[in-house]
Amino acid sequence: MPELPEVETVAKAIRPHFLGNLICDVRIHDAKLMKFPISNVLGQTISKIQRRGKYLLFWLANSGDWGIALHLRMSGKLLMTNQFKKEKHIRLHLITKAQDSSQINILAFYDVRRLGTFEWKNFAELEQKMGIEPLSSKFSPTMLQQLFKNTQQPIKSFLLNQKKIAGIGNIYASEALFRSQIHPLRNAASLTLSEIEKLANNIQAVLFQAIENQGTSIHDFMFGNGNGQEGNFQHFLQVYGKHSQPCPICGTPIQRIKINGRSSFFCPSCQHISKNPEIG
């Protein structure tokens, strides 16, 4: 599933081509999207394109807090083009025109598994349901310490909870925990302040590095940035998807376990399960 770096990459790629454009038409090719109120967006100007967590938000000039919220889910992609062409697995076309020319820019929503969503949402209400942005100035060790307090969740599950921290998914949670030498099953409340400081720094470091490399393209999710270019961060992954391969630090085989139905990859030697790993 696209996570924060992938959605941020898409936002940066499409922003120069669609920001300020007038929405001329929305052509829906999938019955699952038929409830989208096309009349609400026709003739509207795209005033801002923003990533929030794993959502891509299109703010419209005359709609207040309402706008288009796109979630790519497991296999969604956005493809930029200047020609309308209906193809298999394209669920929707957003057709726009630049204000100062006759240039048509089209955004095609491609989704093999049909799990992605294209919705008319109240962004203020959406904001209330979402956790803190891990790349924001408010994201700090002391803030994390307060979030972890009294929880009974494993740290890996907590990091994936979008109502607590928005944007982190399976790939980057696994990578940040490995860099921090924290076992994914550790109770989040058991982490010491020094461990939380290390984790906060590594969460931001791995996300920034992934954004610099335009996200991760791996397995059945060949992520693209909208221009047909795949991400490169898969070349920097240390544990995710590397079951049975040697740990890059100690050589111990990487293990994979299921936590709440999601695969977690870790090094059993470098990442400790004990409550106070610094002792003994």
Q: Is 3 a catalytic residue?
A: yes
- Report whether 204 contacts 141 (CB < 8 A): no
Q: Is 253 a catalytic residue?
A: no
Which residue in the list 32, 73, 256, 262 is annotated as catalytic? 262
Q: Is 154 a catalytic residue?
A: no
Name the burial class of residue 26, with classes exposed (0-12), middle (13-18) and buried (19+) by CB atoms within 10 angstroms of its CB. Answer: buried
Q: Is 262 a catalytic residue?
A: yes
Which residue in the list 51, 52, 54, 179 is annotated as catalytic? 54
Beta strand 104-111 pairing with 76-81: antiparallel
Q: Tell me the sheet residues that pair with 68.
A: 58, 120
When computed from its CA atoms, the radius of gyration of the chain, rounded to whole angstroms, is: 20
Name the burial class of residue 88, with classes exposed (0-12), middle (13-18) and buried (19+) by CB atoms within 10 angstroms of its CB. Answer: exposed
Both tokens of residue 50? 């923003």
**Tokens 């992934």 -> residue:** 210
- The residues near 23 (Cβ < 8 Å, ≥ 6 apart) are 41, 42, 43, 44, 45, 46, 60, 94, 95, 96
* Cα–Cα dist 234/273, whole Å: 27
Catalytic residue IDs = 2-3, 54, 262
